[in-house]
Structure 1
């Protein structure tokens, strides 16, 4: 089949685009608002975008009821900091609970029954139990095209200034073993995947 996204002429029950660019890692973003209140939300449009120095991004639309920036977006811009927490299979339910559209200022850590850990180089807290945390300094926001101006499309970039890795996910050879912490990823629709198995291919050179 072929379709043009602008025309939405795919003829399927739902647009398949999000089911094609998969799996997508989940950026579980924790921030603080200007009053110091914590916020936590998962973003499936997330990824690393550079390694020297390490930088990451997450994409967010607008809150439909305002419209206004989503809390993670607004907090990162206003305070200049955010943390990426690794969402794992063991924390899948808590991650899902934290995706609820709670009123601004309401604590998703409490709603999901999660404990907070202090960060080392930034003020937003980390998710206790998550095996990986990336402490980030906000870099910039890029406004993207949007079919609905009231929903918006924004990409928020941050520079990773501190990294926490749980000792138990590092194997005897000193490498991170992804199968030990089983990160989850977003597929299309309401589907997710978990990393249980890996394979190795060496480059020809």
Structure 2
């Protein structure tokens, strides 16, 4: 099968996001100027640099109660900061609740039954008990092709790691089974890990 996206694919569901899998999930927490916390997952997400550590996530939609974007981007525009929380399998149901398009004045932490903790470096809440959380300061917000497509870039200025996730001097993902996004409504967990030595090691 071959198709041009501009012409459509003829399938019941768009296959595009099933082609880029598995994708890590950025569970992005923010706070608006009134103090309302927001929490939402984004699977167009990755690290972009080591030194200084930098990350990005993309927001690809709009809410009727925001100006051409979603709550996360709107809050980040106001505050200049955000926190990326790592999602573990045990939090899958809470993460799923936070996908709901609640009104901007709704606190997703409360709706999902999650406890907030304050970040150390930035004025932002984070998910208490997450395997890891990265406090970020915005470096740029880029609007890309499409009506409401934004890529948010940030520099990581503080990192929280849960103590039980550190084993033998490494952040060990086998201790919590990271959740990953596949296509459609499908998810997966990381539970089969192996190492490869590089030829020039």
| TM-score of the aligned structures, taking structure 1 as reference length | 0.93
Give the 3-state SS of the residue equivalent to 2:130 in structure 1.
coil
1:186 paired with 2:181, answer yes
Distance 1:18 1:114 in 2: 28
* Residue 116 in structure 1 maps to residue 116 in structure 2: yes
Q: Report how many aligned residue pairs link the two structures.
A: 199
Aligned equivalents of 1:62, 1:14: Cα separation in 2 = 17
How far apart, in 2, do the equivalents of 1:60 and 1:143 lie?
10
Q: Aligned to 1:48, what secondary structure does the other structure show?
A: strand
2:150 pairs, out of 154, 163, 171, with 154
CA distance in 1, matches of 2:28, 2:63: 19
Deviation per residue, 1:93-117 (Å, 9 max, x gap):
0000011000012100000000001
Match of 2:47?
Answer: 48
d(CA) in 2 for partners of 1:179 and 1:201?
A: 17
Which of 146, 166, 170 is the equivalent residue of 1:170?
A: 166
- The separation in 2 between residues aligned to 1:139 and 1:70, in whole angstroms, is 19
Backbone CA RMSD of aligned residues: 1.2
Gaps of 5+ in 1: none
Does the residue aligned with 2:171 lie in a helix, a strand or coil? coil
Q: Structure 1 residue 22: deviation in Å?
A: 0.4
Name the counterpart of 1:143. 143
Deviation of the 1:129 alpha carbon: 2.0
Q: Distance in 1 between matches of 2:197 and 2:125?
A: 38
Q: CA–CA distance in 1 between the matches of 2:64 and 2:136? A: 28
Shift of 1:142: 0.9
Question: Please, which runs of 5 or more residues in structure 2 have no aligned partner?
Answer: none
Q: CA deviation at 1:79?
A: 0.4
1:136-181 alpha-carbon deviations (Å, 9 max, x no partner) = 00111111111xx3xx111011110000111111112x11111111
Quick one: distance in 1 between partners of 2:99 and 2:192? 27
